[in-house]
């Protein structure tokens, strides 16, 4: 049990729709990262938020956006869904220290998104 | 760009065997390396974390080694059990940039009773 919870666990959407996925970080963790894991692949880094600001982004288009709230919960929003967006979406929280956000990451169980 | 490769992609062993999973990475400027376990349809469970200054970490029947200069890590599982059946992922944290991890595609392990 990592203390990181994600909701919903499963979601079905149709192409072109918008989706919001939620993550509740481990208590006190000020850094959250989001990953996309396609079937049979390793997770791919989407972006990271540190103290409510984006702190790095992987190779994902702008229709993938995020928010981090003062209570360190966060959202991943995906607009104009495409079939290839079908994947397991994982969030990971960590405690960033002064001068660095690098520290062990604790993963949630993920949200499985299916786009039809 | 960091690339992480895991070999083999799948492995089946009889219960009780010792086994080694391999991970290689292209850029040796790493901050740390982690091994994760993932059960089907589930999230990731961290098994071992090795900082770049360390050579190995041990937890129970698991031992992970790191050779940064050659860009390699191994995960050794002793006396395998059917409950060890899962996909094992290796992930590298880079020295610069955000605290993101670069993952391999994993090794799917099946331990046969």
Q: Please state, in angstroms and rounded to a whole number, the distance separating the CA atoms of residues A45 and A33.
A: 8
B98, closest residue in chain A (CA to CA): A56
Q: Is A83 helix (H, G, I), strand (E, B) or coil?
A: helix
> For B1-11, what is the mean pLDDT?
93
pLDDT at A15: 97
Q: Is A2 helix (H, G, I), strand (E, B) or coil?
A: coil
Is the pLDDT confidence value at A99 over 70?
no
Across the interface, whether the CB atoms of A33 and B106 are under 8 A apart is answered no
Q: pLDDT by residue (tens digit) across B37-84?
A: 999 888 899 899 998 889 999 999 999 999 999 999 999 999 999 999
Cis peptide before B77 (omega within 30 of 0): no
Of A41, A43, A55, the CB nearest to B98: A55
Across the interface, whether the CB atoms of A48 and B98 are under 8 A apart is answered yes
Instruction: Produce one character per residue of B35-66: b if its CB has 16 or more CB atoms within 10 Å, e if not.
Output: bbbbeeeebbbbbbbbeeeeeebeeeebbbbb
The residue that leads in pLDDT, B100 or B34, is B34
CA distances from B9 to A83, B22, B95 (A): 26, 10, 27
CB contacts < 8 A, A to B, total 73
Q: pLDDT by residue (tens digit) across B98-111?
A: 668 899 999 999 99
Q: How many CB atoms lie within 10 A of CB A89?
A: 24
Across the interface, whether the CB atoms of B43 and A44 are under 8 A apart is answered no
pLDDT at B97: 67
Query: What DSSP element (H or E) covers A41?
Result: none
Q: What is the largest CA-CA distance in chain B?
A: 44
Q: What is the largest CA-CA distance in chain A?
A: 43
Per-residue DSSP letter, B78: -
Of A41, A90, A101, the CB nearest to B98: A101
pLDDT at A17: 98
CB B110 within 8 A of CB B11: yes
Of B41, B49, B89, the CB nearest to A42: B89
């Amino acid at each position: 049990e990592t203390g990181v919870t994600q909701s919903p666990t499963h979601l079905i959407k149709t192409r072109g729709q918008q989706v919001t996925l939620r993550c509740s970080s481990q208590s006190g963790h000020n850094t959250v990262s989001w990953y996309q894991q396609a079937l049979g692949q390793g997770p791919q880094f989407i972006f990271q938020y540190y103290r409510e600001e984006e702190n790095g982004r992987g190779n994902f288009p702008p229709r993938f956006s995020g928010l981090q709230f003062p209570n360190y919960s966060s959202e991943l929003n995906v607009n104009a869904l495409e079939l290839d967006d079908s994947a397991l979406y994982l969030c990971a929280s960590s405690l960033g220290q002064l001068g660095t956000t690098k520290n062990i990451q604790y993963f949630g169980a993920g949200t499985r998104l299916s786009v039809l | 760009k960091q690339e992480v490769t895991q070999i083999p992609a799948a492995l089946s062993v009889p219960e009780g065997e010792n086994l080694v999973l391999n991970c290689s990475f292209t850029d040796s400027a790493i901050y740390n390396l982690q091994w994760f376990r993932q059960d089907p349809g589930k999230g990731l469970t961290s098994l071992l974390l090795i900082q770049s200054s360390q050579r190995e970490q041990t937890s129970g029947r698991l031992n992970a080694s790191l050779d940064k200069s050659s860009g390699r890590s191994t995960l050794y599982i002793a006396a395998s059990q059917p409950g060890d059946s899962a996909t094992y992922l290796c992930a590298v944290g880079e020295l610069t940039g955000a605290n993101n991890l670069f993952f391999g595609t994993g090794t799917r392990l099946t331990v046969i009773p």
